[in-house]
Each structure stands twice: as structure tokens, then as C-alpha cells.
Structure 1
Amino acid sequence: MKILIGCPGRQRSARTDTAQPVRQHHSHTSTATTPTMKCSMNTDNLSARRRQTRSTLVEAGMSVFAHKGIDGASIEEICEAAGFTRGAFYSNFSSRDDLVLATIEQRTSRDLDMLDAAIERWRDRLNSSRPENIEGFLTEFIDDTFSQKRSTAAEVIAEQEIQLYCLRTPELYPRYAELSSFQVQRIQSLIENAIGFAKAASTIPLKDLIEALTAIHTQSSLRAAAGKDLHEVVEIDSTQMVRILNRLLDFSQKP
């Protein structure tokens, strides 16, 4: 199983010019689907060089947003950080807000594809017989998933800056809300797959479980980034997330 989403070709690079249903102990039910994300710009027909340029500008924007906030970040500073001219910026983005939306799209697509890959990588182990140490098994799975992202403190801070900026910018919020809704749907689909593979059951509605895990991940990321140099990679502690999963997932029916 490989679910493809988002903006094809929008990947990080160096600069140049059948889902299984989930059993739940609750009246709420969910079915795994594969939602698709509508991009603000169709990158299907862009050259590899232009996709790289867009990706590099997104990465530069994240760095500047972390240092100065979005309101304090000028297009000139973003271009300087990326090593490009204003002309290169405006040939790819109409404004700073357009860059912000592209950043959300690119990073959402990347992060969810990483989760998809982790679940696929663990599929055989999820399908295997019930492990003797459920908590140890969950810890290993979560730590492996976290290790794939390897966010820096700057990325963690910039993600929070983007969220706050969209909340206080009325013209951006509808698209931000749409992308957030897509993210929840895609995560729900992936978690349904993982729980289904493991023959486990969520003891609460899956949407509630995802919201709890998302909140825990956000707070754990912020704690990990606190006091770090912006370029440092943060190490997220999985303890709280594992504890919640161990309480809210039922493996009793697993052979």
C-alpha cells in the first residue's frame, strides 16, 4: 500500500537556479479513505529545476520565519537566505502569503508520506502475533516514526509561527482550515490502516484519538526545541504518546 497525495514533485532537494476497518469499543465508526489535497499551484508540469527553486524558497522561508516571525520576514530576506533574486521569488510565488500556503502544503505532504512509509515498513510486525511487551513495542514504533522527520528547532518554531499567522490572517484562514482538515483525514486513514494491521481496537472515537496524539506531538516538539540553537535537530520524547496509546488501544483480541 502506498498512498500518494499532495503536490507531485514537491520534494526537498538541494538548490539549483485496501485499508482495513478499525474495531472500536464505541458507537462511532470510521472507514479508511484516501483523501486528496488540492494544491494552491499545480506543480505537475513544472521543470525539476523550478520545483527545486520552489522547495529551496520554502526551506529558506522556514528559517527566516523562525528567526523573525512571518510579519517580520521580508521577501528580500527570504531570497537572500535561499540565494535567489526577487525575480526568482515572484516567478514562483505571488506574495509572502502564497509562500506560507505552499509551505503548509509541502510540509503536510512530506510528513504524511513519512507516516505512510513508517506504517508500511512496520506492516509485517504489526500483523504478527501480540508482542509480550506492548509498551515496548509502541515505543519502538513511535521512536522509529519520529526519527524519520528529524526536525530542527527552527522548523518547530516556524510551524507554530505559521499556525498563529494563519489564525490572525482572515484571508488565509479558510485555506489553512482546509489543509488542516485534509491532514486529519489523511492521518485517520493511515492510523486506521495501522490499527487494522495490528488487529487492535481504539477505545475512543478515532478522531478524538488523533486530536489527542496531535496535541501531544505538538507539545513534545515545543519542549524538545526549547533552549536549542535553531539549527539543532530536536529529539522528541515519545513517553507521553506511548502512554496514551497504551491506554487507548486494546490489543486483547490480537492472537
Structure 2
Amino acid sequence: MSTSREQAEDFIEAAGARLSARRAAVRRLIGVAPSERRAQTQALLLAAGRELIADKGIGGTSVGDICSRAGFTRGAFYSNFTDMDHFVQRLAEEQWDSIIAFVDGSVAGAMPGDPDRPAPETDAELTAGLAELASRLLGAMPISREVFLLQHEFAAYIARTEDANAGASPLRESYAAFKQHLVGVLVEGLASIGRECLLSPEDTTELILATAVRSMRMALDAAAANGDLDTVDVAGAGAADSSDLTAFLGRTLPTLLARLSTPVPQPRGLDE
């Protein structure tokens, strides 16, 4: 009996040592630029994981599912990622990096072309300016069914797995950078029509993002109720335009911008 138990303990110890060695080897590869073949393998695995997690959630997606979708063995997965948590971390960071790149590429188009144009003086001019700014902000926000679903999965993942006392993680920092880009767009856009945020720019941006989430959820709920979910934009280029997901936001954003902003105080003249 003791011999069998000792053999089992030796087997478990050896298996643990092999697992630790494999994870250590993968961690060493993380800091090294991958070869073209390895980079392609990682990209295909991440693409498969992105589709599956958007469809079934992190909890409903297994390593086997990802490998089957990507056409690789489990060995290929574990040669590139230490475990499922590492894979999700990489996927989330890639997602936020792509969103930041999208926002960066849209910022120039999100700003009025003439920074020296006079601020609106009449209600009609202000209404037109707010409508233009709302349109440009919508153009700078990457919105799709996949982005919406992945955002919620990653937010839940952060809440479940991160230690509040461990400091900011790369994932949380990427999300903060994404929101900071939108803060800059909002502040500059309002300044171009002579207005500034009534609340802090960060809080104002959070409110707009929350409205965007509500708009997407309303559109997806309606599509699901009508059996039209397959026609909703899945990855930015589906059968339906992303404006389907932002119809509510498109209607309400000009009013939000008006209520959440105030005219920039004009400097008092020396003769006053």
C-alpha cells in the first residue's frame, strides 16, 4: 500500500515538475519576439478564441474548443500560452490595443477642421455644433456586437481574477488608456464650440460610454427578440451597419452633450 502511495506521489511530483518547466519555458518566450511561424500560430489561436468567447463567453470556452476552431493541437496552444488565464490576458490586451489604434486613427477625423472658428452665438448654431460633434464622436468610437460582448467578458474577468491590492494590471491600464483617448476627443471637441464639461471630463466620458453600452444592448435585445441576431454587425463589417447598434445613442448624444457641458467662461476685459 505504501509503495503504491509513494509511486503516486512520485508521479504527481514529476508531473508538477514537467508542468512548471513547460510554463517557465513559455514565460521565457513571452519576452522574445516570436518567429513568423509562432506569431502566425498565436494569431490564429487568438482569432479563434475571440470568436468563441464572443459567442459563448470565457466560462463556456475551453482550450480544446480553441484548438479545434483554429486547427491546432493542445501542444500548440501550450507552447504559446501558459494556461487559459494567460490566453485570456493576451486576448484582452490585444483587444484594447486594437481599440486604442482605432480611436487614434479616428481622432483626426473627430475634430472640427478649423480650430479658430468662432464659438456658436445663437441657439441654432449651438444645436448644429453639438450635432456635428456628436456625429464625430460616434465615428471615433469602435462599436460592434463583438466589441460589446468581449468588453463585458473582459470586465467580468478582471473583477473575478484581479487582486485589488496588486496594483494596476496591463489589462486595466489598456482600458484606462482607451478611455483617456475618448476623454481627449470629448474635451477638444467641446472646446471647439466654446464649451467645457459640467462634470469632470472623466465622469462625462463614463456617462457617454454607459449610454453607448445601453444603446448596443437595446439593439441586440431587439434583434434577438425578432430573430435577426445574425444580421447584426459582428466584427465591424457585417450585414448591418454599426449605426444599428448606436441608434439610441445617436438620438440622445447631442442632448447629453448640451446638458453635460457649459459655456467656457470668457475672460473679463480690463475696462470692466
Moved more, 58-67 or 74-83: 58-67
**Aligned position for 1:232:** 232
Q: Structure 2: how far apart are the matches of 1:252 and 1:171?
A: 41
TM-score (norm 1): 0.67
Q: Which amino acid aligns with 1:89?
A: F
Of 142, 150, 165 in structure 2, the residue corresponding to residue 158 of structure 1 is 150
CA radius of gyration, larger in: 2
Q: Which amino acid aligns with 2:158?
A: C
Q: Which amino acid aligns with 2:54?
A: A
TM-score (norm 2): 0.63
Question: What are structure 1's unaligned runs of at least 5 residues?
Answer: 1-40
In the TM superposition, what whole-angstrom CA distance separates every residue of 1:30-72 from its partner, at most 9, and x where no partner exists? xxxxxxxxxxx557x2345544433332232122123322122
Of 53, 62, 85 in structure 2, the residue corresponding to residue 65 of structure 1 is 53
Q: Which amino acid aligns with 2:153?
A: E
RMSD, matched Cα: 3.2
Q: Structure 2: how far apart are the matches of 1:137 and 1:178?
A: 31
Identify if the C-alpha distance between structure 1 residues 213 and 116 changes in structure 2 by more than 3 Å, giving closer, same or farther: same
The structure with higher relative contact order (CA 8 Å, sep 6+) is: 1
Identify if the C-alpha distance between structure 1 residues 189 and 145 changes in structure 2 by more than 3 Å, giving closer, same or farther: closer
Decide which structure has greater helix share. 2
In the TM superposition, what whole-angstrom CA distance separates every residue of 1:97-132 from its partner, at most 9, and x where no partner exists? 112111221111111222222221244526252463
Residues matched between the structures, number: 210
Q: Which amino acid aligns with 2:255?
A: R
**Aligned position for 1:127:** 115
**Aligned position for 2:207:** 212
**Aligned position for 2:106:** 118
Q: Which amino acid aligns with 1:104?
A: A
Q: Percentage identity across aligned positions?
A: 24
**Aligned position for 2:261:** 249
Moved more, 194-203 or 66-75: 194-203
Identify if the C-alpha distance between structure 1 residues 52 and 217 changes in structure 2 by more than 3 Å, giving closer, same or farther: farther
Identify if the C-alpha distance between structure 1 residues 138 and 76 changes in structure 2 by more than 3 Å, giving closer, same or farther: same
Q: Which amino acid aligns with 1:244?
A: L
Q: Does the aligned pair in 2 maintain the 1:126–1:198 contact within 8 Å?
A: no
Identify if the C-alpha distance between structure 1 residues 139 and 185 changes in structure 2 by more than 3 Å, giving closer, same or farther: closer
